[in-house]
Chains A and B, each alone.
Chain A
Amino acid sequence: LAKTTQPISMDSYEGQEVNITCSHNNIATNDYITWYQQFPSQGPRFIIQGYKTKVTNEVASLFIPADRKSSTLSLPRVSLSDTAVYYCLVGDGDNFNKFYFGSGTKLNVKP
């Protein structure tokens, strides 16, 4: 079964860049890596998705090394409103449509 590993929590200050890494050793060849953000009592919200190398959108960047066994979500210049739990999502290497969320990383942004 695909497993992902993320740091349980991270602290940052407003205006800093935050990098959250996810390990996913059993990623399948055609699986994409997706990151979500979740606030309390809300469903996760899509942040960014990628397959390899680097992807950037208006809110984040995603770095994926050549072996694809890990990925790093980069949040530039975080603000207090970025305090949330961040999950990486990859497919199950054995079952394409059986998705596993990582344990999530609780990001605390301080003023």
Chain B
Amino acid sequence: KAGVTQTPRYLIKTRGQQVTLSCSPISGHRSVSWYQQTPGQGLQFLFEYFSETQRNKGNFPGRFSGRQFSNSRSEMNVSTLELGDSALYLCASSTSEWNYGYTFGSGTRLTVV
């Protein structure tokens, strides 16, 4: 059974650019969450999607957005990149809306220069 797949694994972008990260959840998982991890702030919740609907959003500026497709795959987009956006972006999926046993992907390491 394939795990959560995140692409790309590594990414280098320039300030001001935008970036799109992709997450393919485990087959059958309908809930997808995104987290940002930095050494200074730790793991911070970005947003969570269930059946193509964003159910909750963390305390991030509007430059951070996401969406979920009918096949449960999800993307997150960051526009007008800043140096502080450099982080490991993690995606997690689970089977049901009340299931807290999320399976995480290996993440996308974004470096903004």
B101, CB-defined interface residue at 8 Å: yes
> 8 Å CB contacts to B: which residues of A17-63?
30-32, 34, 36, 41-46, 49
How far apart are the CA atoms of A34 and B107 in the complex, in Å?
Answer: 20
Partner among B56, B58, B104 whose Cβ is within 8 Å of the Cβ of A43: B104
**Is A49 in contact with B90, judged by CB distance below 8 angstroms?**
no
Nearest opposing residue in chain A for B107, CB measure:
A43
Q: How many positions in chain A have a CB within 8 Å of any CB in the partner chain?
A: 24
**Is B104 in contact with A98, judged by CB distance below 8 angstroms?**
no
Name B's interface SS. strand
How far apart are the CA atoms of A103 and B100 in the complex, in Å?
Answer: 18
Partner among A32, A91, A98 whose Cβ is within 8 Å of the Cβ of B58: A98
B103, CB-defined interface residue at 8 Å: yes
**Is B101 in contact with A99, judged by CB distance below 8 angstroms?**
no
| Shortest CB distance B76–A (Å) | 15
Cβ contacts under 8 Å, A87 to chain B = 43
B106, CB-defined interface residue at 8 Å: yes
Interface centre among A32, A34, A42, A43 (most CB of B within 10 A): A43
Interface centre among A49, A97, A104 (most CB of B within 10 A): A97
Known: A34-B101, A44-B43, A46-B102. A99 touches B88 (CB 8 A): no
Partner among A34, A41, A44, A104 whose Cβ is within 8 Å of the Cβ of B100: A34
